[in-house]
Amino acid sequence: MTALAFGFDTVASLTPTPLQRALAAAPDKPPPGQAKPEREFFAFRVGDLSLGVPSENVREVARLGPVTPLPRTPSFLLGVFAHRGEVLPVVDLLRFLGKGESRVSDRSRLFVAVSGNYGAAVLTDTVIGLRRFPLSEVLAPPVGAESGVEHLLGVVHVAAGGTITLVDLPKVLVSARQKLVKR
């Protein structure tokens, strides 16, 4: 049987459609590569350190207002801060990690950190902003007897030879709460 017996015009069925012609004329693209898995971090400076915490654990940045000191609390807890109807503990991350202590100035900021039901205000000198890092570029935290290493996710090298140390903020908040309850 021939194509004409079924009513088909064999010449018309072999002619490429406009879409097929356009696709044939389009330049070849390399196959799409797999996107590198990334994670977004909130980066900031405290003292001489550049730190980053997972962005999903940061609700907002606020100006430092009056901090009410509390008696008999660990040195990393500077006091409490009233913000939008909440009373939040103010954490000095440098003291918590055993890297010195933060200096409070007019330029100091707080970021409201959350993890589950826990919330705190964390003192920072400068906000760098949100940064995305491919997970393949995150190096393991330094190994050693250095205090605070168990609260780190890793280290990322950034432009100009700097590094940002990534902090496991949920773990810090849980540990800080445990240290406060023990007292």
CATH number at residue 127: 2.40.50.180
Report the domain count for the chain: 1
Q: Which domain holds residue 56?
A: 38-182
Phi and psi at residue 48, in whole multiples of 5°?
Answer: -95, 0
Q: pLDDT digit of tens for each residue in the chain (183 aa)?
A: 444 555 555 555 578 888 788 777 777 665 566 667 899 999 999 988 999 999 999 999 999 889 999 998 999 999 999 998 889 999 999 999 888 888 888 888 999 999 888 899 999 999 999 999 998 888 888 776 466 678 889 999 988 778 999 999 999 998 888 887 765
110 found inside a domain: yes
**Percent composition of the chain: helix, strand, coil (DSSP 3-state, to 5):** 25, 40, 35
62 found inside a domain: yes
Q: Is 68 helix (H, G, I), strand (E, B) or coil?
A: strand
7 found inside a domain: no
Question: Can you read off the two tokens belonging to residue 6?
Answer: 């079924």
**Alpha-carbon distance 158 to 137, whole Å?**
10
